Homo-oligomer: A and B are copies of this chain.
Amino acid sequence: MRRSERKIERIINYRRVLIKLERAGETNIFSHQLSALTNATPAQIRRDLMEMDTSGSPAHGYVVKDLIKSINNYIGADKEQVAIIGLGNLGKAITNYVNGSSENLKIVAGFDIKSEKVNRVVAGCHSYHLQDFEKIAKERGIKTVILTVPVRVAQDVAEQVTKAGVRGILNYAPVNLHLSDDIYVENRDMISAVEKVAYFSDH
């Protein structure tokens, strides 16, 4: 049975916050404290954590270190190797951001087709021509890509990378991709996001 997207999102968030807490020297945490840091209700947090293999104690809550371990165990601990395609404004900004702050993943390669964007280094990540994608993706075991290419090429590029073994795409181009339905696609359109907030600001 496929796990719920909503729940996975929340759990990823808990982990992120917990890692920060651990850094800050916190050893224990109650569900209502985690709630304040993540926007999930205490009851929901307890329910989410139910299927982890750690449990909390009424007196001291959850042990931060154990919880991180359990979450890693639940969703996977390996530092994910991802690639980004399209090294324009957005692509560069994301690469810098992700490689500068993520604990759990790294953008290990960038791809573009413009010669001046190829063979550079951005945020510790080398850039290649897209035609080398398959080779490098195989070498590095890349299964996930971030797509920040212009709309008009997004579908083609998506097909190309999935043929090379990619199984999940985070798509920032405002277009609906058509791919085999065992490929996971998440669309993140900033304009829709702002429109949504604007709507709820008024309602």
Contact = CB atoms under 8 A, between A and B. Distances in A.
Given A16-B191, A188-B193, A201 B97 contact: no
Given A98-B191, A146-B194, A184 B168 contact: no
Contact of A16 (B16, B92, B101, B192): B192
Q: How many copies does the complex hold?
A: 2
B192 A13 contact: yes
A102 B13 CA distance: 30
Contacts of A13: 189, 192
17 contacts: A5-B200, A12-B196, A12-B199, A39-B187, A89-B96, A102-B195, A104-B195, A144-B198, A168-B198, A168-B201, A169-B197, A170-B193, A170-B194, A170-B197, A184-B197, A186-B200, A188-B193
Interface of A: 2-3, 5, 8-9, 12-13, 16, 36-39, 75-76, 80, 82, 89-90, 92-94, 96-98, 101-102, 104-105, 143-144, 146, 166-170, 174, 176, 178, 184, 186-203
